[in-house]
Amino acid sequence: MPRESEIEKYFVWTVERMGGTAYKFRSPNHRGVSDRVVCLPDGTVWFVELKASGGRLSPLQVLFATRMKVLKQNYTTLWSRTEIDAWASRLDHTRTTRSRSSTSATAP
Which of 60, 69, 81, 58 lies closest to 10 in space, CA to CA? 81
- Collapsing DSSP to helix, strand or coil, 6 comes out as helix
The residue range of the domain holding 84 is: 4-103
Task: Return the pLDDT at 105.
Answer: 63
Which of 47, 45, 46, 49 lies closest to 77 in space, CA to CA? 49
Contact 95, 89 (CB under 8 A): no
74 is a domain residue: yes
Q: What is the CATH number of the domain that holds 15?
A: 3.40.1350.10
> What gap in Å lies between CA 36 and CA 58, rounded to an integer?
16
pLDDT tens readout for residues 29-76: 889 999 999 999 999 999 999 998 888 999 999 999 999 999 999 999
Task: Return the pLDDT at 94.
Answer: 46
How many structural domains does the chain have?
Answer: 1
> What gap in Å lies between CA 37 and CA 73, rounded to an integer?
11
On the question of pLDDT at 101 being above 50, the answer is no
51 is a domain residue: yes
108 is a domain residue: no
